[in-house]
Amino acid sequence: MNKMNTRHLVDIPEMRLAYFEKLLKQLCTDLGPHPSGTKAYEKACKIILNEMSKAAPVAFLDRYLDYWAVVPRHEILHEGTRLDVMVAENCAGTGDSGFKGVIRKLKRGPTTYGIFDLSTRRIAAYLNVSEEVSPKPEYLYGDDVLSLPRFVMGIRDIPFVDLLVKDKAKVEVRVRVVHAPQVPTHNVVGTFPGRSKDEILFVAHADSLIQTEGANDNTATAIVMLMLAHAFSGTRPNLTLTFLITGSEEYGLLGAKHYVKRRIAEATQKNLKFIVNHDSLTYGPNLWASTDDEELMGLVKSIHADLDMKTDPIYDTSACWMNDAAPFKGINNHLRGINFNSRGYDTLGANHTPRDDSKQVPRDCVESSFVVLRELIERLQEM
């Protein structure tokens, strides 16, 4: 069992309401609009990370870029001979002029080779070797985002590069990249390692549009995710539980798309067993469940019946691959999922407008969705 335990923060309805009010003030009233790529959004991420770190044994900021591209063309040249290389996605560039350097084998570092700038005598770029004959793409994440320029070559070119290393031959190097945003942007991730590596992934976005606090869409729901994390604090679940609070959902699901690439790069995508996406759980007390998985839908129906919620839930047999769940479709051959939204009150009309502020959030919807989802987490671990 984990030593940390913050379950007392969400033990009873009164405590849950107090916790929700505190976080809603911090994330909406105090911050105002917080679209991804802004200082306001990064303040939101730090608040969320602080709360996640109290609850979960593993919690971190997951940096990503909304946009990254190589300006044609990248090159490593030796006396006019161009080495066949690719550029690892999310690395930095050399600058417009490039540099002249020598290639050396690295005893320590993230890659096989380093390219040292002759003028500074310092490493100025990395050169990695793919596991294939030809160069294959690499995806950088975490601290490697916008790290030194990183090239990737195939194994067929090892003899040539080793000869360059032996002869201390000069090479000319250039890669120019463009990226956005300039302000570092993150997802927040919290994980409870389980007895099994099989994993349930819970997703909710925390970014807003530029003109709104985004209280119902989707800050209130992100806070519910934090409440659920606190509810399982100090426990060791049967299945691994990961809470992913994403950015850039409002601008193309970019935080979720990055996280998919990260899991593939980590080779951990096979662990994902269930995904549960949550978007706008406070538009009314009637949870709107979308899945074409009959067993999962039956589970949700049984939870509503057993809890006797006195609500009118919506059971939609559409596939769950919508909103931030969409990028996860096909990440492995066994992932099952469900998507939650809500209806029932008149707050939907404020969606994506300045009226979607903290005063518009129905507090009863926070409590009802929390109770249902807490039970869902318990029962999913038995499937």
> Does residue 293 form part of some domain?
yes
Q: What is the pLDDT of residues 121-155, one digit of tens each?
A: 999 999 999 999 999 999 999 999 999 999 999 99
> Does residue 366 form part of some domain?
yes
Query: Residue 372 corresponds to which amino acid?
Result: V
Identify whether residues 120 and 239 lie together within a single domain.
no
Mean pLDDT of 170-183: 96
Sheet holding 123-129, edge to edge: 81-82, 67-78, 170-180, 99-105, 113-117, 123-129, 150-153, 85-87
Identify whether residues 115 and 208 lie together within a single domain.
no
- In angstroms, the CA 254 to CA 185 distance is 11
> Does residue 2 form part of some domain?
no
Identify whether residues 247 and 284 lie together within a single domain.
yes
Mean pLDDT of 43-54: 98
Q: What is the pLDDT of residues 303-361, one digit of tens each?
A: 999 999 899 999 999 999 999 999 999 999 999 999 999 999 877 778 888 999 999 99
> Does residue 1 form part of some domain?
no
> Does residue 124 form part of some domain?
yes
3-state secondary structure of 250: helix
Identify whether residues 134 and 201 lie together within a single domain.
no
Identify whether residues 100 and 142 lie together within a single domain.
yes
Helix (H) or strand (E) holding 243: strand 239-246
Q: Is the pLDDT of residue 277 over 80?
A: yes
Q: Is the pLDDT of residue 167 over 80?
A: yes
- For residue 350, the model assigns a pLDDT of 81
Q: What is the pLDDT of residues 63-76, one digit of tens each?
A: 999 999 999 999 99
Identify whether residues 47 and 93 lie together within a single domain.
no
Query: What values do phi and psi take at 129, rounded to 5?
Result: -115, 125
Domain end, chosen from 164, 180, 196, is at 180
pTM of the predicted structure, to 2 decimals: 0.95
Identify whether residues 129 and 52 lie together within a single domain.
no
> Does residue 80 form part of some domain?
yes
Task: Classify strands 58-64 and 185-192 as parallel, antiparallel or unpaired.
Answer: antiparallel
* CA distances, 151 to each of 81, 174, 238, 265 (Å): 16, 10, 41, 16
- For residue 2, the model assigns a pLDDT of 55
- In angstroms, the CA 288 to CA 266 distance is 33
Q: Is the pLDDT of residue 256 over 70?
A: yes
Do the beta carbons of residue 190 and residue 200 sit within 8 Å? no
At CA 110, angle to CA 50 and CA 78, rounded to 5?
A: 140
CA-derived radius of gyration, the chain: 24
DSSP state of 209: -
Q: Give me 359's structure tokens.
A: 């005063």
Q: Which CATH number fits the domain that encloses residue 142?
A: 3.50.30.30
Identify whether residues 11 and 79 lie together within a single domain.
no
Domain end, chosen from 141, 161, 180, is at 180
Q: Which CATH number fits the domain that encloses residue 348?
A: 3.40.630.10
> Does residue 367 form part of some domain?
yes
For the beta carbon of residue 226, count every other beta carbon within 10 angstroms: 30
Identify whether residues 90 and 45 lie together within a single domain.
no
Q: DSSP labels for 136-192?
A: ---B--GGGTT-S-EEEE-GGGHHHHHHHHHHT-EEEEEEEEEEE-SS-EEEEEEEE
Domain end, chosen from 132, 160, 180, is at 180
Identify whether residues 202 and 324 lie together within a single domain.
yes
Identify whether residues 320 and 338 lie together within a single domain.
yes
Range of the domain at 309: 7-66+183-380
Task: Check the CA dihedral 224-229-231-237 and report its sign.
Answer: positive
The overall average pLDDT reported for the chain is 96
246 forms beta bridges with 205
Identify whether residues 170 and 201 lie together within a single domain.
no
Q: What is the pLDDT of residues 5-15, one digit of tens each?
A: 999 999 999 99
- For residue 352, the model assigns a pLDDT of 87
Structural domain tally of the chain?
A: 2
Mean pLDDT of 31-56: 98
Mean pLDDT of 23-42: 97
Q: What is the pLDDT of residues 209-236, one digit of tens each?
A: 999 999 999 999 999 999 999 999 999 9
The residue assigned the tokens 């690295």 is: 106
pLDDT band at 107 (very low <50, low <70, confident <90, very high): very high
In a 10 Å sphere around its CB, with 0-12 CB exposed, 13-18 middle and 19+ buried, how is residue 216 labelled?
Answer: buried
> Does residue 191 form part of some domain?
yes
